[in-house]
Every structure is written in C-alpha cells, then in structure tokens.
Amino acid sequence: MDIKTVTEAKTLGEVLRFQAATRPDATAFLFEDRRTDYATFDRHASQVAQGLLAEGCGHGARIAFLDKNSDLFYELIFGCAKAGAVSVGINWRLAPPEVAYVVNDSAAEVLFVGPDFYGLVEAIEGELKTVKTIIAMVPGHERWGSFEAWRDGQSAEDPHCSVTAEDIAIQMYTSGTTGHPKGVQLAHEAFLAIRRLPAHDDMAWDHWSEADVSLVAMPSFHIGGAGWGVQGVWAGAKNIVLSEFEPGRVLEVIEQERITKLFIVPAAMRLCLPIQLSYSRKIHLRFRIKMICNSLCDNINCITRIAAYMPTITQSLPCNICIRLLPVIDGCENSFGIFLAFFLHHKFQFPFSVNFVITTRIGVSGLAKNFNQC
C-alpha cells in the first residue's frame, strides 16, 4: 500500500516503509556507537521478517526477546510487524521460573537472548515447550547462532505480508503482582490511532515531528520502551537508545543530544534529583506545567499543591493525573521530560512559571485487544 502521509499508515510496517522512502538517510536509531539510518533500518526489518518466515513464523507467531535495551530490539518489532508475527519483550528482572512461564504462556517459537541472560536461558531451556530456535544477540555462544549473522543471511526484499490494523503487533506482560503475569495484546492500531487524533495547541508536548530527538531509557519490555520507540519511528525522529536507565547517563544524553522527547516514570525521575552535573553552557528555561486528565478530578484544588513544592509532586497528585512539562527555549517549546524540570529547579533554582490547563483525552478503542490465555 502506497501512502502519502504517515497518518494514513494502518500497520507498523507501513509506517517504516513510509519513513524509509521519505527520509532514507536520516538517523532512525543511535545505540552506543552504532548509527542506523531509516533506509538501513527498513532493510534490516525486512531481513528479520524474511528470517522469521523461513523459520515458519508467520501470521500470529510469537517471537520473544530477553535482553536489555538495544536498537536491534526495534528491528525485531518492525520485522515481526512486516511478517505478521508478534514481538514479546520479556522482563529481564524476572527469576528463571518466571521467564519460563512467560515464554511458554506466549507460545514463543523463536527466542532472542542477550549475553547477560545466556546462563538463565540455558538453565530453563529444557522447560521451554514451544521454542524451536534460540538466537544470541551477540556472537560467541557455542550453540546458538548470532542475530546479525542470522539477519544478514536473509533476503532484503520486503515480504509485504498481509497484515491488518487489527492484527496483534506486540504482546506485553504485566508484573504479575496478583498472580502469574498476563499477556496484554496490542494491535497495530493501538500504536497508530492516537497519532491520528487532532493536534491541539495546548498539548504541544504531544506534537511529534521529524526534527525531534527522542530518548529511549525505559526498558524494552515496558510500554515506555517499546511503545516510545515506535512513536519515534512514526514521527521519523532520531531515536537514541540506552541499554538501561542510569540517572547520570540520562541527564548527560539530554544535554549532549538536545533531547526533545522522553518517557520516564516517577520512580526513575526521583533518582535523577541527587545527581550533580556541571553543564557546559548556561540554560535558561521557563517551565509551563500542563495537566492531562483521563477524567475530571473530584477535587481540582488538590492540583494547586504542585506550586507549593515542586520536588514532592509525585506525592501530591491524585493517581489519575499525568503531568507534562514544556520548557521554553528561545521561544520554542520542547518536551524535555518532567524530571528535568525538577532537577534543574531543585539543584540550580531555575525560574519557572506555572500555568494549569485541564484537558480531557479521548480514549482509543481497541488499545488492548485482550489478555493472552484468558
């Protein structure tokens, strides 16, 4: 399907094909010293798709990934999308029996494993009921072939498999605090429908463009990792991936790469507050806080406590409120992430202004299709 704008895309595969055609030389991902442009990223995704099809993993097949963050994970996501398969990111903090449970519950047929977890997978390999092939993310394992050798041995022709907006693209697992983890199935449409919502001037934090530089620091098994990278590709942005969240490194990359988009959870944000940094340039920021509510609060007055003491914001907010910060730099609004505002104000007493905007977000139907095995 030929599309004229990315908003016409119905699947993740169409999104990537569009970006590769319109921005072939632009940086898609930067991971450590490895830079991948959109044309190369698209070719790699096609090779992954061809490799999965050669393994007999086509429409609906589950493909598991157990490793820390990497640009290669996104090649798997979009490769699966092109083949009609489903990527399953596994929480690498889980104990071996829990990993085995997730792999078996998802009925994964291929398992991609990072070097930090070779020993774990070797210990449970005999318990994996549906896995036909295990592929190591880096060369050197005595039995498992390496990802890049496997990928590069495939045809680079885009398979153009029949995939619909309602097909499952990614299966994510809950933490399992009330029992076994449950697989939440997210369709292609779940990632794309929200991007087709009308843009509002009072929600500039949610406006993406090809000029954005996005930082992926949340784990790939989390929506803030997998989903955030997908959003960056949708925009044709430059996506910088960190292998794992490390507060000092995150703050360094924000300044060095001039990050404009970031997803971060409050617990990670708080870890950034004690970090001492010496910035190489003077930064002048004016912060504008915007509230995005899924429903109107029963007590709007509770929001005003934000202005009283910024660093305690996560303890002051009702749970259904999400905060976005828009630093204004030289007249241009850029979303640097909530924690940066706290850090700069708390450590350097940078001035900020507070404006409250209550906005209701309409829901996206079919966001989560259903739970696996329920």
CATH of the domain at 90: 3.40.50.12780
Q: Looking at the predicted structure, is the pLDDT value of residue 309 above 50?
A: no
Is the Cβ–Cβ distance between 212 and 261 less than 8 Å? yes
- With cut-offs at 50, 70 and 90, classify the pLDDT of residue 283: very low
pLDDT score of 226? 94
Domains contained in the chain, number: 2
Domain end call among 147, 167, 193 = 193
Structural domain contains residue 249: no
Task: For residue 280, give its domain range.
Answer: 264-360
Do residues 306 and 316 touch, judged by C-beta distance below 8 A?
yes
Answer yes or no: do 40 and 178 share one domain.
Answer: yes
Q: Which residues contact 124 (CB under 8 A, 6 or more apart)?
A: 96, 97, 99, 100
Q: Name the percent of the chain lying above pLDDT 90.
A: 55
Q: Helix (H, G, I), strand (E, B), or coil: what is residue 222? A: coil
pLDDT digits over 115-147, tens only?
999 999 999 999 999 999 999 999 999 999 999
- The backbone region for 235, taken as left when phi is positive above 0, alpha when psi lies in -120 to 50, beta otherwise, is alpha
Residue 133 inside a domain? The answer is yes
Only one residue has tokens 């889980």, namely 94
Using pLDDT thresholds of 50, 70 and 90, give the confidence band for residue 276. low
Does an H or E element contain 305, and which?
A: helix 305-308
Average pLDDT score over the chain: 77
Q: What is the mean pLDDT of residues 155-165?
A: 97
Q: Is residue 244 part of a domain?
A: no
Q: What is the pLDDT of residue 129?
A: 97
User: Is residue 104 assigned to a domain?
Assistant: yes
Same domain, 181 and 32: yes
Shared domain for 158 and 11, answered yes or no, is yes
Would 238 be classed as within a structural domain?
Answer: no
Q: What count of other Cβ atoms lies within 10 Å of the Cβ of residue 35?
A: 13
* Lookup result for tokens 């007493």: 349
Asked whether residue 239 is assigned to any structural domain, the reply reads: no
**Is residue 43 domain-shared with residue 136, that is, in the same domain?**
yes
Q: Residue 371 — very low, low, confident or very high, per pLDDT cuts 50/70/90?
A: low
Q: Say which residue the tokens 């598991």 belong to.
A: 64
Token pair, residue 208, equals 């993406």
Angle formed by the axes of helices 338-348 and 247-257, nearest 10°: 100
Is residue 368 in a domain? no
Same domain for 172 and 301, yes or no, is: no
Q: What percent of the chain has pLDDT over 70?
A: 71
Choose the final residue of a domain: 193, 228, 250.
193
CA nearest neighbour of 29 among 75, 77, 63, 80: 75
Please report whether residue 352 resides in a domain.
yes
Task: Using pLDDT thresholds of 50, 70 and 90, give the confidence band for residue 289.
Answer: very low
The CA distance from 144 to 137, in Å, is 9
Q: What's the rounded Cα separation, in Å, for the pair 334 and 352?
A: 14
Domain boundary among 143, 177, 193: 193
* Statement to judge: residues 96 and 182 lie in one domain: yes
Whether the CB-CB separation of 64 and 111 falls below 8 Å is answered with yes
